[in-house]
Amino acid sequence: MLFLNTIADVRSQLAAWRRAGEQIALVPTMGNLHDGHLRLVDTARNLAERVVVSVFVNPTQFVQGEDFDSYPRTPEQDAESLRERGADLMFMPEEKEIYPRGREGISFVEVPGVSEGLCGSSRPGHFRGVATVVLKLFNIIQPDVALFGEKDFQQLAVLRRMVVDLSVPVELVGVPTVRESDGLAMSSRNRYLSPNERQKAPALYRTLKGVAECLESGERDIVTLEREAMARLAGAGFEPEYVSVRCADDLAPAGGDEGALVVLAAARLGRARLIDNLRVSSDSK
Ligand code: PAF
């Protein structure tokens, strides 16, 4: 596996692979890789001859007061996991490589609508930072396909919209969430949970499952379902931010004859802010 830090080196390597007729898959990450990320790499290997994994803790997607400085950084461990998993290139740029003019007064990508509400409400500017860095990575690597975890459901919706709005020539693939055996969605931020909080954490998944099952059995009083789910999370020791039933395609509020639904939630548990989501089986309609 190659390990490169500069845009120039990555571009010349990718040009060689492209000249050889090879397709490129990109897995963008912030490092501290877990099985969820490695599932993205496995899927990528089935979709393209070459798999590039970027590891960059992107400062512009952290809101004031969030964990940018303390975000876990484990580059040696990440390189080892990626090598074992058969990735071809780990791209780990310095901040100045990605933001040569700093973080202020620079061009940003705004994706209106789908980036508003849900996590967009509590993390203003977050999706702007995500869309910007992902477009930069697309411009640097020019992948044929890029893979993202469905755990960050709103992020994936924002990026799908960006790619359409800005005619970016890349196929986006969402990969289902990888869970611990008790249902907790894998996340680098799970390490912020104390042992006691870790025991409580699967209640988030159970709560989403409860809402999805009610919807699948025909219940359509969405406001009550969301309110009861918030209360259930609070009772389990969380500080819930939202539980929301939305249209899976565009995250519009559910309410009528829409197609597939998804239930999304965000809640704090101690130092950790956890997010998760579950699609509602469409057989229920
Ligand atoms: O999902 C993430 O890890 C990040 O938001 C991403 C897509 C790598 C952009 O920094």
Claim: this prediction has a pTM higher than 0.95: yes
Name residues whose C-beta falls within 8 Å of residue 20's C-beta, 6 or more positions apart in sequence.
none
Nearest partner of 6 among 59, 58, 56, 57, judged by Cα: 56
Alpha-carbon torsion, ordered 257, 185, 134, 69, to 10 deg: 130
Contact 212, 281 (CB under 8 A): yes
Q: Which residues are catalytic?
A: 37
Name residues whose C-beta falls within 8 Å of residue 64's C-beta, 6 or more positions apart in sequence.
none
272-279 and 2-4 strand pairing: unpaired
Measured distance CA(191)–CA(181) in Å, rounded: 16
Question: What does the angle CA 137 – CA 153 – CA 274 come to, to the nearest 5 degrees?
Answer: 105
The protein residue with its alpha carbon nearest to ligand 1, atom 5, reads 130
Name residues whose C-beta falls within 8 Å of residue 82's C-beta, 6 or more positions apart in sequence.
1, 33, 41, 53, 90
Tokens 């952290």: give the residue: 62
Tokens 């007729």: give the residue: 21
Q: Which residues line ligand 1 (CB under 6 A)?
A: 28-30, 58, 61, 130, 133-134, 152, 155
The alpha carbon of 156 and the centre of ligand 1 are apart by a number of angstroms equal to 10
Atom of ligand 1 nearest to the CA of 54: 8
The alpha carbon of 184 and the centre of ligand 1 are apart by a number of angstroms equal to 19
Atom of ligand 1 nearest to the CA of 137: 9
The alpha carbon of 175 and the centre of ligand 1 are apart by a number of angstroms equal to 14
pLDDT tens string, the chain, 285 residues long: the values are: 999 999 999 999 999 999 999 999 999 999 999 999 999 999 999 999 999 999 999 999 999 999 999 999 999 999 999 999 999 999 999 999 999 999 999 999 999 999 999 999 999 999 999 999 999 999 999 999 999 999 999 999 999 999 999 999 999 999 999 999 999 999 999 999 999 999 999 999 999 999 999 999 999 999 999 999 999 999 999 999 999 999 999 999 997 666 899 999 999 999 999 999 999 987 644
